[in-house]
Amino acid sequence: MKKYQIIAAFRFLLYLIAFSAVFIGIFMVLAYKDLMRDIGFFLLTFFSAMILLGLTQKPR
């Protein structure tokens, strides 16, 4: 495997984890418990910021 294929696979896994965390965070925000709602907001803000930073970054 080439170096760029390994980097592309790693970025794909990171995006997969981030998108699933945002998806889980949406349902946790809709929950009724206060702690779950706070954790859901954290998941939404942190991982959506990570996705936006990763998508707007120019490749070297």
Give pLDDT tens digits for 25-39: 888 888 778 888 888
- The alpha-helical segments, DSSP class H, found in the chain are 3-29, 34-56
pLDDT confidence tier of residue 60, bands split at 50, 70 and 90 = low
Average pLDDT estimate for 9-37:
83
Residue 9 amino acid letter: A
CB neighbour class for 51 (10 Å; exposed up to 12, middle 13-18, buried from 19):
middle
Whether residue 38 contacts residue 26, with contact meaning beta carbons closer than 8 Å, is answered with no
Q: Which tokens belong to 27?
A: 């349902």
Number of residues written out for the chain: 60
